[in-house]
Structure 1
């Protein structure tokens, strides 16, 4: 699974670089695209900040439930399984 995830991440990165190079060849920059959308870098930072402020408490709450359940299942698993 890790290999598949890593492979997907590498493909995503290579595609992003390739598309970025093509857009750069047409003199299109990220700042121009953001401005055309009516956003500013400060607004984007604010959106990202608010997203983390919303997601972090939910992530922690979910982890407080999931981690003990996983630990119990892991400890009660018969020897030799999952190796």
Structure 2
């Protein structure tokens, strides 16, 4: 783990000052920034949950066709092997 030197702290303070100044110029407060981040994260989670919901529904609808066909083929193969 690298050591935190006074030079690193000074660099972080300088960068923080310029970022804070830039946000101030753009009239963005820390609360607005956090709110925006959480809104984007919430929108992303909603999109993922909707997408997964659609995927699950597609899988279930497809399984209504695929699983019975597979079951019949499995039973046919099982009966062939049993008869040997």
Report TM bin, short chain: 0.3 to 0.5
Considering only CA atoms, is the larger Rg found in Structure 1 or Structure 2?
2
TM-score scaled by structure 1?
A: 0.45
